Amino acid sequence: MDLTYRPRRLRRSPAIRSMVREHSLNAADFIYPLFVHDGKDVQAISAMPGANRWSMDALIGEVERAWALGVRCVVLFPKVDEALKTEDGAECFNERGLIPRAIKAVKKEFPEMTVMTDVALDPYSSDGHDGIVSSSGIVLNDETIEFLCRQAVVQAQAGADLIGPSDMMDGRVGAIRESLDEEGFEHVGIISYTAKYSSAYYGPFRVALDSAPRADSQKPIPKDKSTYQMDPANAREAITEAQLDEQEGADILMVKPGLAYMDIIYRLRQESELPIAAYNVSGEYAMVKAAAERGWIDEKSVVLETLLSFKRAGADLILTYHACDAAHWLSKG
């Protein structure tokens, strides 16, 4: 055949393929989500094989493992005792609460590890929503933001490097930025859950934190989070959210979930010069784990291909429960 162009010329050996490879993965690309609780034991999470709720002591050991593998950022999520949950979620800004103590513990042992936090009320709420639910069943926006600002400041005081508002209330990024600055935390960044969709992929996470919306005989509780999280049918709306978050002072924009929303990652990459993060969420993780346990897929190959696809779509950072496994595999070549 008389062919001028033969793309296979650049695929014929590992060395050539590595020379022309457009994207790559590195352990420093990963943000490792860790669940922490106030007990003394390490609790396996049934819906997320390989993931655990860590005691405070065990948390430090897991952070040490992540650091040794090259992971440079962890994000902390609390499994809050039921006795501490209230309708307004006020435990979220308790200076002696679980997350402030966990931040301090991690920063004491690993001061160079970047610590990201989650800002929302659902782990602390007896209603299971990211915001305060009114007596008529409305998730209140402005009243919630006041609590989120107090939560963010307490986390910054404890030593957090990145504040992650995951609640999807309107205007919360700007309000949190202003609150942090007023308290002298201009150096603390905001990694905003910019395009967080009302997704079915969050199920295992809600098992891990026991944070799903709950029925209440005293008032109507919305059964899902669709009045504040984004409609999965919408893409252009994500650009609006990104523009608002940039204007309000976000430092990093996040898309959640990741795998089913590659087009949103790509759109935001085209629209913004800010770093983009993708959240490889619990449902995506659990599906891979379940298929691997049954021998239907090769876990290492599928995980690394999936994480690489986030980079190809335009993500700079990836929140993933696979972080330590992926970092280990990458180190072995």
Q: Are 313 and 262 in contact (CB under 8 A)?
A: yes
- 47's tokens: 């819906």
Helix (H) or strand (E) segment spanning residue 32: strand 30-36
Q: Looking up tokens 């001061």, which residue turns up?
A: 111
SS (H, E, C) 78-96: ECCCHHHCECCCHHHHCCC
Tokens of 104: 């301090």
With beta carbons less than 8 A apart as the criterion, state whether 56 and 101 touch.
yes
Residue 225 a catalytic site member: no
| 151, 118 Cβ separation under 8 angstroms | no
Phi, psi of 77 (to 5 degrees): -125, 135
Q: Which of 107, 225, 256, 289 is catalytic?
A: 256
- Determine which one of 79, 85, 196, 311 is catalytic: 196
> CA-to-CA distance for 112 and 324, rounded, in angstroms?
18
Place of tokens 């957090």: 160
Long-range contacts formed by 222-228: CB under 8 A, 24+ apart: 222/129, 222/133, 222/137, 222/139, 224/198, 225/129, 225/130, 225/139, 225/168, 225/198, 226/198, 227/138, 227/139, 228/130, 228/131, 228/139, 228/141, 228/167, 228/168, 228/169
Q: What angle do CA 199, 123, 98 make, to 5 degrees?
A: 140
For the chain, what is the radius of gyration of the CA atoms?
A: 20
Indicate which residues carry an active-site annotation: 196, 256
